[in-house]
């Protein structure tokens, strides 16, 4: 019940943000979209994803978009797309979403203990990670020991992205 | 009990969403989005109560801070016309 209400809220928010000609209002609506999305993630018990959604989606993205807006115009240009193009875009989007929906049919149910993710490597991590790495928390063991180089690469990417943002937003001297 | 409370709060958020979409001035929209964020915090606290996980309250506090930051950025942009 509450999930349906939240999802409907998300759809209305997204459509309104697309339709809005005033870009500042569209940014504000996207912020509320992110907040509601974070609640949906929390309902699915994915607290860390919800945390990221709230801080990145509602916090940083809003600020970055407003910073972008302060360098450009606030109003959307009155540009009309030809009807043929919109039909082509619509067909492509419908086809893609049909393929994606078809792909979800084979997925296991939410929280299904027989899902492949809980059968393949998870038991090994749970049983052996302390012996092999000496880290008490096995999520930390996976992130920092088994996939240590992967995490190092991710950190480098995030550092590079942060540097690029600082360079772009730096005040011109 | 949880369902009733959550439904009422979502309904309140939907009412505010009307103002966020319709709102003639951009300040109405900013206020509406701020209120939606507050409703999110309350909803999160409720979910934490229903799941029996009180540490959701800490996350709700962080959400409140995020809400504050984006509103602050909006107001600074409206007043100064720039963020830097």
Predicted confidence (pLDDT) per residue in B17-46, tens digit? 888 888 788 888 888 988 988 888 898 888
The answer on A2 and A65 residing in a single domain is: yes
The per-residue pLDDT for A171 is: 67
Measured between CB atoms, does A2 come within 8 Å of chain B?
Answer: yes
B37 touches chain A (CB under 8 A): yes
Same domain as A88, residue A74: no
The count of other CB atoms within 10 Å of the CB of residue B61 is 13
pLDDT at residue A94 is higher than 90: yes
Q: ipTM higher than 0.90? A: no
Burial A61-96, CB ≥16 within 10 A → b, else e: bbbbbbbebbeeeeeeeeeeeeeeeeeeeeeeeeee
Contact A66 B47 (CB under 8 A): no
Q: Indicate whether A173 pLDDT > 60.
A: no
Cα–Cα distance, A173 to B72 (Å, whole number): 26
- A66, A11: one domain: yes
A32 and B36 within 8 Å at the Cβ level: the answer is yes
Same domain for A5 and A66? yes
**What whole-number distance in Å separates Cα of residue B21 and Cα of residue B6?**
22
Asked whether residue A95 falls in the same domain as residue A55, the answer is: no
pLDDT surpasses 90 at A114: no
Confidence of residue A150 (pLDDT cuts 50, 70, 90): very high
Count: domains in chain A = 3
A23–chain B nearest CA distance, Å: 10
Q: Is A168 on the interface with B (CB under 8 A)?
A: no
Inform me whether the C-beta atom of residue A31 falls under 8 Å from chain B C-beta atoms.
yes
- Inform me whether the pLDDT recorded for A78 exceeds 80: no
> Are both A131 and A63 inside the same structural domain?
no
pLDDT band at A98 (very low <50, low <70, confident <90, very high): very high
Chain A contacts of B74, Cβ < 8 Å? Answer: 24, 28, 62, 66
Do A129 and A170 fall within a single domain?
A: yes
Which tokens hold the place of A79? 């540009």
pLDDT value at position A172? Answer: 60
B9 contacts B46 by C-beta, under 8 angstroms: yes
Q: What is the pLDDT of residue B65?
A: 85
Give me the mean pLDDT over the B50-65 stretch. 83
Residue B62 scores a pLDDT above 90: no
Mean pLDDT, range A118-141, rounded to an integer: 82
How close, in Å, is residue A153 to chain B by CA atoms? 28
Identify whether the C-beta of residue B81 lies closer than 8 Å to the C-beta of residue A61: no
The pairs formed by A152-156 with CB atoms below 8 angstroms and a separation of 24 or more are none
Based on the fold, state whether residues A39 and A108 are members of the same structural domain. Answer: no
Q: Which of B36, B56, B57 to mutate to test the interface with A (most CBs of A within 10 A)?
A: B36
**pLDDT computed for residue A93 by the predictor:** 95
Question: What residues make up the domain containing A173?
Answer: 121-173
């Amino acid at each position: 019940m509450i999930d349906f209400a939240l999802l409907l809220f998300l759809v209305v928010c997204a459509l309104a943000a697309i339709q809005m000609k005033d870009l500042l209002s569209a940014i504000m609506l996207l912020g509320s979209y992110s907040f509601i999305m974070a609640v949906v993630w929390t309902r699915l018990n994915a607290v860390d994803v919800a945390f990221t959604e709230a801080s990145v989606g509602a916090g940083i993205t809003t600020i970055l978009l407003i910073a972008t807006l302060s360098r450009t115009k606030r109003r959307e240009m009155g540009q009309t797309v030809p009807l043929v193009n919109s039909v082509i875009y619509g067909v492509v989007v419908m086809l893609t979403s049909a393929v994606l929906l078809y792909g979800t049919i084979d997925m296991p149910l939410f929280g299904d203990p027989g899902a492949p993710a809980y059968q393949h490597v998870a038991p090994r991590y749970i049983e052996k990670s302390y012996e092999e790495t000496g880290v008490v928390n096995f999520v930390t063991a996976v992130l920092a020991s088994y996939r240590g180089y992967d995490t190092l690469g991710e950190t480098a990417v995030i550092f590079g992205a942060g540097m690029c943002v600082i360079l772009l937003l730096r005040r011109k001297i | 009990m949880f369902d009733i409370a959550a439904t009422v709060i979502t309904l309140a958020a939907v009412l505010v969403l009307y103002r966020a979409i319709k709102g003639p001035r951009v300040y109405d929209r900013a206020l509406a989005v701020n209120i939606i964020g507050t409703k999110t915090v309350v909803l999160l606290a409720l979910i934490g109560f229903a799941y029996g996980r009180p540490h959701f309250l800490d996350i709700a506090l962080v959400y409140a801070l995020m809400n504050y930051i984006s509103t602050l950025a909006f107001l600074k942009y409206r007043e100064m016309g720039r963020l830097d």
